């Protein structure tokens, strides 16, 4: 058994097709199939159930896949550590980002990182703060930019606060409140709201503010897409509370939206999070670009 055979198994498992797996691995299909068949003979089990139209993992294959991924990750980490010891940063960096990130210009950051460390393969994934933090704990992400209610920190990971922000009310330009200089939660509680999905950190920021004020509100529309939130508002279907640092640049160029400060509105923190267990050289390099010093642990 060798690492190449494990890579072939992972490729077939992920593509569910021997031809596409061979293309991904840069080999002819007959060679890939031969190596996997040899591995199955060595193990004494079938890793894949095959037909003319379908390829699926067997129970033994699913068990092998988990271990194979761990072995490949360990091998990649060993190679990256060796390169780092020689002064070269290599390997993979998986970055997570929420859609409302404003504390950091992520494309500009990735451009600077690539200029300094061209041998690192950077992968970018967007999602919710809780999902991204869980992905770091599970080893699927190396580092992520999160947004959380003021005073909260992502559990089980290292983190540092990048910025503090307040929400503003976003209304249609022709709304009766559009010209207000400042409002309170009580003055807007009767409005229909557009917000993020219940149970997410992005939604919790507004929910906690209304709860603290002893107020109830109606959330008429829930979505995870910021663009859809602003489009619904522009059509007069509701209002929203959104982080000011994120929404102000967008609203500045949109004549259909108006922003109003809210004195007792939600606060949030933007955090950078990474694995607290032995961050990779590529992760440490990104922290260096950001000017963050990880703990010695």
The DSSP H or E segment spanning 226 is helix 226-234
Are residues 145 and 282 part of one domain? yes
**Which pLDDT score is estimated for 88?**
67
Are residues 167 and 264 part of one domain? yes
Residue 2 pLDDT more than 80? yes
Of 37-46, 69-78, 246-255, which gets the smallest average pLDDT? 69-78
Minimal CA–CA distance to 199: which of 141, 131, 125?
Answer: 131
- Rounded percentage of the chain residues whose pLDDT exceeds 70: 96
Domain boundary among 54, 85, 116: 85
Are residues 265 and 172 part of one domain? yes
- CATH code: domain of residue 230: 3.40.190.10
| Per-residue pLDDT reduced to its tens digit, 124-165 | 999 999 999 999 998 889 999 999 998 899 999 999 999 999
Contact yes or no for 215/183 (Cβ under 8 A): no
Number of domains in the chain: 3
Report the 10 Å Cβ neighbour count for 297.
8
| Per-residue pLDDT reduced to its tens digit, 171-190 | 999 999 998 999 999 999 99
Report the 10 Å Cβ neighbour count for 184.
13
Q: How many Å apart are CA 109 and CA 274, to the nearest integer?
A: 16
Contact yes or no for 230/257 (Cβ under 8 A): yes
Q: b/e string for 272-286 if b means 16 or more Cβ within 10 A?
A: bbbbeeebbbbbbbb
Contact yes or no for 100/85 (Cβ under 8 A): no
| Per-residue pLDDT reduced to its tens digit, 82-131 | 766 656 687 889 999 999 999 999 999 999 999 999 989 999 999 999 99
- Global pTM reads 0.73
| Structural domain that includes position 240 | 163-269
Report the 10 Å Cβ neighbour count for 146.
29
**Which pLDDT score is estimated for 295?**
62
């Amino acid at each position: 058994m060798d690492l190449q055979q494990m890579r072939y198994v992972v490729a077939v498992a992920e593509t569910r097709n021997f031809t596409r797996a061979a293309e991904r691995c840069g080999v002819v299909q007959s060679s890939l199939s031969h190596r996997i068949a040899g591995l199955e003979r060595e193990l004494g089990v079938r890793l894949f159930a095959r037909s003319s139209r379908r390829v699926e993992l067997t129970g033994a294959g699913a068990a092998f896949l988990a271990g194979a991924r761990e072995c490949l990750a360990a091998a990649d980490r060993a190679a990256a550590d060796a390169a780092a010891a020689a002064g070269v940063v290599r390997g993979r960096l998986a970055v997570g980002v929420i859609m409302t990130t404003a504390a950091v210009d992520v494309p500009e950051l990735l451009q600077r990182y690539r200029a300094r460390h061209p041998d690192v393969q950077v992968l970018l994934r967007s999602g919710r703060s809780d999902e991204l933090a869980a992905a770091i704990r599970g080893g699927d992400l190396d580092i992520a930019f999160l947004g959380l209610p003021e005073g909260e920190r992502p559990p089980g990971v290292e983190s540092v606060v990048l910025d503090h922000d307040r929400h503003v009310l976003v209304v249609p330009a022709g709304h009766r409140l559009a010209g207000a200089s400042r409002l309170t939660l009580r003055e807007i509680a009767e409005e229909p709201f557009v917000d993020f999905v219940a149970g997410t950190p992005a939604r919790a920021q507004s929910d906690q503010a209304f709860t603290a004020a002893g107020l109830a509100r109606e959330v008429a529309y829930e979505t995870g897409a910021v663009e859809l939130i602003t489009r619904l508002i522009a059509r007069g279907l509701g209002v929203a509370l959104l982080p000011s640092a994120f929404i102000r640049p967008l609203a500045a160029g949109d004549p259909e939206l108006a922003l109003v400060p809210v004195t007792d509105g939600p606060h949030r923190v933007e955090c950078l999070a990474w694995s607290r267990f032995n961050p990779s050289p590529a992760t440490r390099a990104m922290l260096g670009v950001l000017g963050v010093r990880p703990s010695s642990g």
